[in-house]
Chains A and B, each alone.
Chain A
Amino acid sequence: MDQLTLITFLPLVGALLVLLTPASQEKALRAIALVTTLVVAVLGVQLYLAFDGSSAALQFLVDKAWFVLPGSAIPVRYKLGVDGLSILMVALTAVMMPTVILSTWGHVHKRVKEFMLWMLVMQTGMLGVFVAHDLVLFYFFWEVSLIPLYFIVGIWGGERRLYATIKFFLYTLAGSLVMLVAVIAIIYQFRTADIPTLCEQASSLALSKQVWLFAAFALAFSIKVPLLPFHTWLADAHTEAPTSGSVVLAGVLLKMGTYGLLRFGIDMFPGAALEHAPLFMALGAIGIVYGAFLAMAQTDVKRLIACSSVSHLGYVVLGMFALTYAGLSGSILQMVNHGISTGLLFLLIGMIYERRHTRALDQFGGIAATMPIFAFFLVFTVLSSAALPGLNGFVGEYLILLGAFQAKPLWAIIAVLGVIFGAVYLLMATRRVLFGPVTHEENKHLEDLNAREVVLMLPLVILAVWIGFQPKPFLDRTQGSLERLVQKIEVARGAQNASLEVPTTEESVR
């Protein structure tokens, strides 16, 4: 049994086990889920270590026949593989799930069986998206991964959960259905559904057709990222989702959008990506500042973090569409960083919610006195999220800003403003939660984090410090693929300039 099939479908086996155990035995259900995710985590780390970062080729390849489309006899294959662009996200998804499952001890008490079932199915869906290398298989995993979160938000969510879950489902679905037409068009155009071959051949398309296909793909992924105009579903989905749902949504699901933009936007249609790069850089940069202002005005702390996600992912898109090596590697690393820091933030807010059952900022104040350990972790996470050097956020952000500056200095400068506003809203929130006199009676005798809650956060904290101090092994993992990608972009840039016949005055600085 090859590694990738094992790691992708092991959670499904766990889900089956959960299905078979009676709903009454909650302890056993939680144990199964935890054990499964732990095994997958070990596999994920093993995969990460065995991955050779310098080669751009697909590794751990699995390639079996699946079915053949009638008439034109286009083979659709069950093809899995990992390359530099996806290895970090696969490892993160595998490593984060045990933390998420462990956190459900605190806040999921009713219908535990269904919750564990949906969590495990979601993990398979997410891993599938990152490892699928057949366009149809990718589309299958892309849409199927919507359903588990739909149920998780819908059943265990807050008051407006039905509104939030329908809105999130239909919004993402609309994007992916437009993408479906593009997927069909490109498969029948090149008579194959294999992503690597499509990536090579697609750049040979006429620019106008390439731009149309790119727009369709980019729309679906921009909704998922979420990029600026399509972000309104995120705040509702986060606020109404249960803690573990928010952690997974922020930690991994949003990255499927950015990964999609990378794989199907830039890798598949470099010409069109070049054409649209300034637009996306603009949306990213403005998204950063817009998200920051949004967060400043929030009164619900969970909604505040959701808005901060809009701002953070603005960085990722900015870095990606700078189309420079630094920008690209920074954006891939920032996908992981955002998963860690925002995941931790949601976990912490979840812990406070379990104790105070409210998320309104003015209900807190002076909690640092009664819960020092909680205060330590919250300040730590806020600093990692505000990109303090020495922690994970900084490495990604520095590379992104550097890459963006090399491409379009204007957007980089606007993004640097985001650094300031980011610090502003995060520190304002920390101050209103932790510092100041204890005004509310309940805050006086909140008991501090217990062992379970600290242990479940440790892997993410250690990862944050490790990426902060020693980012080289993580960055080296993406080296091979990124060199291939940058080389591809140069070719497309050359072709574009040749077609323009205008000697470019602005010397390109590497």
Chain B
Amino acid sequence: MGGTWLLWFIPLLPLFGAAACGLIHFATLAAQKGDGSGKRPSALAPLVACAAIAGSLGLSIAAFKELAALPADARVIESAVWEWIHAGSLKLDISLVVDPLSAVMLLVVTGVGFLIHVYSAGYMKGDPGYAKFFAYLNLFVFSMLMLVLSSSLVGLFVGWEGVGLCSYLLIGFWYEKGWPAEAGQKAFIANRVGDASFLIGSFILIKLFGTLDMSDINAAVAGVASDPAKAWWLTVGALCLFGGCTGKSAQLPLFTWLPDAMAGPTPVSALIHAATMVTAGVYLVVRLNPVFAADPAVMTVIGTVGALTALIGGTSAIFQRDIKKVLAYSTVSQLGYMFLGLGSGAFASAIFHLVTHAFFKGLLFLGAGSVIHGMHDEQDMHKMGGLKHHMPKTFATFLAGAAALSGLPLLSGFFSKDEILAHTFAHGGFHQVLWGIGIVTAAITAYYTWRMVALTFFGKERFDHHHVHPHESPAVMWVPLAVLAVLSVFGGVLGLPPVFHVAHQLETWLEPVTAPGKALLAMHGTHTLSHAAEWALLGLGSVIALVFATLGFRAYVGGTARDENVERTKPALADFLVGAWKIDAKYYAVIVYPAKLVAFVTAVFVDQFAIDGLVNGAGGLATATGNRLKILVDGSLKSYALWIGAGAVLLAFLWMFV
């Protein structure tokens, strides 16, 4: 596969799929407009879309096999180079690189992507924009694959903004409702803020390394880090890049767009806002791990941001009524965990959690989608309850997902989350405080997860039976659920803790990619954990998970009584948490309104009044003096003669004496 254009087909297939679905959409439009009967959108679109994703899935698996066959240290397949922008000495070329890290991401993106495509074939049936939806979905997968496979930071940026665009289009898919369009716009602008900081970071990298090819950069980091003048720039560059990640992966300063992004259809939330796009930030940090690992301060910053985001995400999910909002805040929280892991140098375990999270969060979102589908677009958990009889398959798979998310022992979530906490604890020093926050959030996660399960599937049926008849989703929807459930349960196999004396599959697989970063970290002290400490941590993790899971479940299995009395007794706390610590409201007050005010001031006062005023003033002055001069020419002979006489005297005086 190396050196050929074959690799290019992995991203290009979904692009062609998107184009094809686009044409289908416009064709059906023309047909609809023609006879106006709104002929049902053909089933062709989902077929084309799923085929495209299946194609790239197949190629990805083939690439994965070829990669695995290579010896451990030479595991890189590079495609033909495509010269993109040449500006004098600067050459920005893009080639696709499959190395252990991108192979994993490839499988996740195309695998989970394919399942979600199949699922949405059922979920979106009957929607007038059916073909358009699949066009956007395929376009999204194309952008994500470009992001994951690109060799240079510029190619990555193309994917980076491409996914931002697709999330904008998909969140605002049902634009006629009005507020989804605003949510889409908010998401795009928040991403753009992150992209701006990403741009500055990439310019700094060009300034330091003269190129944007990521492998060259990683190789040259050691040299640059040693030179004191450049090291400062490197730190600033790393922080800027991390700024970009916070925008894309919804971390602390820029996470407010993710909950609103739930306005889009549920498969979109599953694919983009759980499994793939939001993980782009994590992928970037792992891809450029030497750049971030060069300065320990950067690592601590990443860790703290991760921990704080996890805490805020978790706490905000506790009292949410909308099932998708709970999952959204939970995603923010789990991403916080991943960055917590990255902060303490546990690159492999962050990727491990990314993979498992893709499985169980994708599953939960699709499950929620199936619930909403069954409940005729009802999303408020206070109007559900007792659905386990009506949707047994969805209930079973949802249970598996919830168990994995809450970190019940032996499930995938438990292992990946515990590994991150272990590494954070091992890192010592300030990171132990972060570990504390991590443990508290783990408890909260277990609590709200099982609250959700209890409210949705157990207890009294709180929906009115005349309108709502919950029914099981068709096969095309629950089969992907089943597959994801299996993966969520057995996903842990990928990375069993060392204590089990079994090789950590993912760690060894990612060794060549994470080695340079780890080496740099090692320069600032190595950290190991004794077996006893590990067992203790494992035990603590499972105990907390079990205790808080049962607490959450029992509190809500009876119904929504607990929510009501909390809202009655401590309304301020409830409102504070549901509003995600009121950060979004503050943003509006501090940034959005002042910006509109400044815009108004510049447009009316500075522009029209000041600058334009000067221009019109000059014109007015000329006409005014012109009118006043008319008085000088008063038509009387005498004054003219006087002027002539005076003029003559003036000239005489001028020449005689000057």
Contact = CB atoms under 8 A, between A and B. Distances in A.
Contacts of B165: 383, 388
A229 B88 contact: no
Given A390-B162, A472-B84, A372 B175 contact: no
A110 interface: no
A329 B199 CA distance: 19
Nearest to B143: A390
Interface string A222-235: 00000001011100
Interface in A166-183: 167, 170-171
Contacts of A326: 87-88, 90
Contacts of A60: none
B199 A416 contact: yes
A190 to B, nearest CB: 30
A232 B615 contact: yes
- Judged by DSSP, the binding face of A is helix
A385 to B, nearest CB: 13
Contacts of B84: 471-472
Contacts of B90: 325-326, 402
A417 B591 CA distance: 14
A128 interface: no
B86 A476 contact: yes
Nearest to B204: A405
A401 B204 CA distance: 11
Given A290-B602, A373-B26, A401 B611 contact: no
Nearest to B154: A398
Contacts of A434: 175
Interface in A425-464: 427-428, 431, 434-438, 448
A475 B207 contact: no
Contacts of A405: 200, 203, 206-207
Interface string B171-200: 010011110011001001100110110011
B515 interface: no
Interface in A399-421: 399, 401-403, 405-406, 409, 412-413, 416-417, 419-420
Interface stretch (A41-49, A201-209, A293-301): A293-301
Contacts of A395: 85
Contact of A423 (B86, B158, B188, B615): B188
Interface string B147-184: 00000001001101110010010001001111001100
A232 B85 contact: no
Interface in A192-249: 229, 231-233
A294 B200 contact: no
Nearest to A228: B611
Contacts of B210: 510
Nearest to A448: B33
Interface in B1-51: 26, 29, 33
B196 A417 contact: yes
A329 B88 contact: yes
Contacts of B189: 420, 423-424, 427
Contacts, number: 146
B596 interface: yes
A114 interface: no
Interface in B77-98: 83-90
Interface string A297-336: 1100000000000000000000000000110011000000
Contacts of A509: 207
Nearest to B25: A372
Given A293-B598, A427-B188, A436-B181, A389 B162 contact: yes
A475 B87 contact: yes
Contacts of A372: 26, 29
B567 interface: no
B28 to A, nearest CB: 11
B83 A297 contact: no
A419 B199 contact: yes
Nearest to A427: B185
B330 to A, nearest CB: 28
A389 B161 contact: yes
Contact of A294 (B160, B195, B607): B607
A509 B182 CA distance: 43
B599 A297 contact: yes
A329 B87 CA distance: 7
Contacts of B182: 431
B133 to A, nearest CB: 14
B89 A297 contact: no
Contact of A420 (B83, B193, B596, B598): B193
A334 to B, nearest CB: 12
A373 B30 CA distance: 10
A84 B245 CA distance: 39
B99 to A, nearest CB: 23
Contact of B88 (A368, A383, A486): A486
Given A390-B158, A416-B196, A483 B181 contact: no
B528 to A, nearest CB: 41
Given A416-B199, A419-B196, A297 B86 contact: no
Nearest to B33: A448
Interface string B583-622: 0000000000001101110111001100110011001000
A167 B86 contact: no
Interface in B199-216: 199-200, 203, 206-207, 210
Given A402-B206, A419-B195, A424-B189, A436 B599 contact: no
A231 to B, nearest CB: 8
A369 interface: yes
A246 to B, nearest CB: 19
A257 interface: no
Contacts of B26: 372-373, 376
B86 A472 contact: yes
Contact of B85 (A296, A420, A475): A475
B88 A297 contact: no
Contacts of B611: 229, 231-232
Contacts of A471: 84-85
Given A398-B154, A412-B203, A510 B196 contact: no
A298 B607 contact: no
A437 B176 CA distance: 5
A479 interface: yes
Contacts of B195: 419
A435 B178 contact: yes
B247 to A, nearest CB: 10
Interface string B573-585: 0000000000000
A277 to B, nearest CB: 18
A419 B158 contact: no
Contacts of A271: none
B192 A171 contact: no
A274 interface: no
A290 B610 CA distance: 14
B607 A325 contact: no
A483 B87 CA distance: 10
A437 B181 CA distance: 10
A475 B603 contact: no
A482 B88 CA distance: 9
A486 B87 CA distance: 12
30 contacts: A167-B616, A171-B615, A290-B602, A293-B595, A293-B599, A298-B603, A325-B87, A325-B88, A373-B29, A389-B158, A394-B161, A401-B199, A402-B87, A402-B206, A406-B207, A416-B200, A420-B192, A420-B196, A423-B189, A431-B182, A431-B185, A435-B178, A435-B181, A436-B175, A436-B181, A437-B176, A437-B177, A438-B176, A472-B83, A510-B89
Interface of B: 26, 29, 33, 83-90, 154, 157-158, 160-162, 165, 168, 172, 175-178, 181-182, 185, 188-189, 192-193, 195-196, 199-200, 203, 206-207, 210, 595-596, 598-600, 602-604, 607-608, 611-612, 615-616, 619
Given A373-B26, A438-B176, 5 more contacts: A373-B29, A388-B165, A416-B196, A435-B181, A437-B177
| Top-9 shortest CB links A-B | A325-B88, A435-B181, A297-B603, A296-B599, A435-B175, A297-B599, A389-B158, A405-B203, A232-B612
